[in-house]
Amino acid sequence: MSIRRVITGHNAAGKSVFVADTGASRTTAFKHVPGFITSLLWETRPQATVPVPQADPAESAKSWVPEPGGTNLMFITFPPDAVMMSSSFDPAAAGGEYIQVLPGLAEKFEMDSPGMHTTDSVDYAVLLDGEIHLELDDGATKKLAPRDVVIQNGTRHAWRNKSDKPATMLFVLVGAKRKS
């Protein structure tokens, strides 16, 4: 999956300019989870200002889950669940790859409930291609089709691809504080 990022900014005179027209800088096709592809496209820090510094904030992002008031923009392609059910699937190797590639997010996944996780964020999720099921902690599920939108309000959930084709989603995570 090729992702094109067109980034605008300002020149020294304050006029709008194109700063970059490139591919996503942080895209990973996972070795131990074939078909799983992640792309962190942009990050805004809390109380962001414009103009934005010319550096690529996705390159320096420390976490895939933004701190309260920050945002992260990402694409994720989920392979069919059958990939993880294969006899050749190595969950330890996959877990290590998650920790390395998805800092801040990988630690949110529950070892005894594969796929389940909770983040302190409001997530806008748009299914672009394929089909996927959203499962909540009580086992309730909703099947999503392309152009369906989920507003995830810091709930415990998992994404399940029960089909035989990949599913690609666009996510905007808005960091939030969890009420005690």
d(CA 99, CA 106): 5
Does residue 90 register a pLDDT over 80? yes
Give the three-state DSSP class for 116.
coil
| pTM (2 d.p.) | 0.93
102 burial level (CB within 10 Å; 0-12, 13-18, 19+)? buried
As a whole number, mean pLDDT of residues 71-75 equals 97
User: What percent of the chain is modeled with pLDDT above 90?
Assistant: 84
Looking at domain 29-175, its CATH class is mainly beta
Phi, psi angles (nearest 5°) of residue 97:
-70, -40
**How confident is the model over 108-117, as pLDDT tens digits?**
999 899 999 9
Q: Where are the domains of the chain?
A: 29-175
Q: Is the pLDDT of residue 53 over 80?
A: no
